A and B are shown apart, each in its own frame.
Chain A
Amino acid sequence: MKHSGIVRALATLTTVVVVVAACSSAATTQPASAAPSTAPSSASTAPSSASTAPSSASTAPSSAASAPAKMYTIGYSNGGGVGNGFREEQMCTARAQALVSGQVSQITVTSRNTDAAGQLQDIRDLIAKGVNAIVFNPNDPTALNPALAEAHAAGIVTVAVDSYVTDPNTYNLYNNQVQYAYLGAKWLFQQMGGTGTVYYMRGLAGNSADSDRDKGFKQALAQFPNIKVTPPAGVATGWDPATTTKLINNFIASGQYDSIQGIWTSGMDSMVVSAIQTAGKKQVPLVGADLGAFVTQLLNPTGYPGLKGVAVTNTAGVGGAGVSLALKLLNGQTVQGDPSASQPNTILLTPVAVDNLTAAGKAQLKSWQSVPGLNPTWPLGIQIANWTTYTPDQAIACKGPGQ
Chain B
Amino acid sequence: MNFDVLAIFQIAGIGFIAAMIHTLLKQSGKEEYAHWATLVGFIIVLFMILRLLGDLFQEIKTTFLFQ
A and B interact physically:
no
